[in-house]
Structure 1
Amino acid sequence: MNEQIPPPTTRVFIALAPPDDAKDELARALRPAYDAYPRMRWNRIEDWHITLAFLGELPVTAVPLLRPPLAELAAARGSVRLSMHGGGHFDERVLWSGIEGDLEGLQLLASEVRGLVKECGIDFPDRPLRPHLTLARARRDDPSSVLGAAAVLDSFTGRSWRAARLHLVGSNIGRGPGPIHYRDIEAWPFGGGPPPA
């Protein structure tokens, strides 16, 4: 009996990334939390992103299907103006910074991206968009760290910025011990036109 070997997979999402100076501004605000809560699993600053669509584990053969339509979408529309603001947590486990600015434009972009993915025949968990930037995760035995770290960001308001590119990202989450790392599979600049009405 021949056993079918499933195709290799990769964990994929589509996202926006703040510019370096906006990330540096947030990192400076987080310094007291870095010092006070060193046991938290802090995301690398270069991995900070705003997820528009989390696609989960995809066969690597599905990823090329996304490239042309994502490139076309980015080229056809303007970017959104956003900023990071405050902090919070999901279930005392995940620390995040909130997102402000053109949230209507962000929701529209996420809807366009998700519709495009569905048109490519890719099934994924289509959860409501909750705009945020994930910063860290608490260890199971230390939930209070997230609450303290979120309080550090209570009064934080970052500068406004425009998302420059649409990113198709792969991650190694769930592939063994060690930190989560993300890598751009590809990124496309926004065309600079006004967002669709």
Structure 2
Amino acid sequence: MTEAAADREPPATVRLFVAVAPPDEAKAELERALAPTYEAHPRLRWNRIEDWHITLAFLGELPSGVVPGLRTALEAVAATQAAVALELSGSGHFDDRVLWCGLRGDVTGLHRLASATRAAVAASGVRFDDRPLSPHLTLARARRDNPDGVPQAAAELSGFAGRPWRAERLHLVGSNFARGPEPIRYRDVASWPLTG
């Protein structure tokens, strides 16, 4: 970090979500399977592989002052919840605009982890839109000027079946606000091992 960066005021607000992430080996396996799809659909806005995650609770834009309380609440959740055995599998799309990879394995355990996470966030006083969990890993979005391609890409990836892996950490993640063609960027605010 540069001195100028260290001297900056922290942002007044931060966009946050809570997630688990596949390990690098699972990401690499999916990336290899996606190679022909990347080539066939270069105009999709592909998410960066290092940013792939499964959202458990989207919290939205919040005052940065809520972060310490969230850290405490989520650390307590991670201490009571076990790692979850999952596999990346198949694909689909939302509204012909968002391409995703699905999950199989202990999806019930993933729902249990999401429920505990959401309850802890709410108990910490943070208000958020508690939408039903639809476990998936977002891969790409259609560009506004090129809405085609997502359903076809989903069909091409529908037979994908990855090897088992374990979601072993709970992540509190911050994201930037994408403007224009810039992709969304994510960064870990904090993470904790699932040790319950």
Normalised to the residue count of structure 2, the TM-score between the two structures is: 0.91
1:28 and 2:29 matched:
no
Runs of at least 5 residues in structure 2 that lack an aligned partner in the other structure = 1-10
Match of 2:61 in 1: 57
**1:173 deviation in Å?**
2.4
Match of 1:77 in 2: 81
**1:39 deviation in Å?**
1.0
Match of 1:47 in 2: 51
Structure 2: how far apart are the matches of 1:117 and 1:173?
Answer: 22
**1:59 deviation in Å?**
0.3
Contact 1:164 1:189 in 2 (8 A): yes
Match of 1:122 in 2: 126
1:167 alignment partner, SS class:
strand
Contact 2:87 2:105 in 1 (8 A): yes
| Letter of the 1:65 counterpart | G
**1:17 deviation in Å?**
0.2
Contact 2:172 2:188 in 1 (8 A): yes
Match of 1:157 in 2: 161
**1:163 deviation in Å?**
0.5
Match of 1:102 in 2: 106
Runs of at least 5 residues in structure 1 that lack an aligned partner in the other structure = 1-6
2:62 alignment partner, SS class:
strand
Number of equivalenced pairs: 186
Match of 1:88 in 2: 92
After superposition, the C-alpha distances for 1:118-138 in whole angstroms (9 at most, x for unaligned) are 001110000000000000000
Q: Which moved more, 1:25-34 or 1:70-79?
A: 70-79
Q: Which moved more, 1:82-91 or 1:70-79?
A: 70-79
1:169 and 2:173 matched:
yes
Runs of 4+ in 1 over 6 A off after TM superposition: none
Contact 2:81 2:113 in 1 (8 A): no
Structure 2: how far apart are the matches of 1:17 and 1:189?
Answer: 12
1:11 and 2:12 matched:
no
Q: Which moved more, 1:63-72 or 1:51-60?
A: 63-72
1:112 alignment partner, SS class:
helix
**1:177 deviation in Å?**
5.0
Contact 1:33 1:148 in 2 (8 A): no
Normalised to the residue count of structure 1, the TM-score between the two structures is: 0.91
Structure 2: how far apart are the matches of 1:29 and 1:144?
Answer: 21
RMSD: 1.3
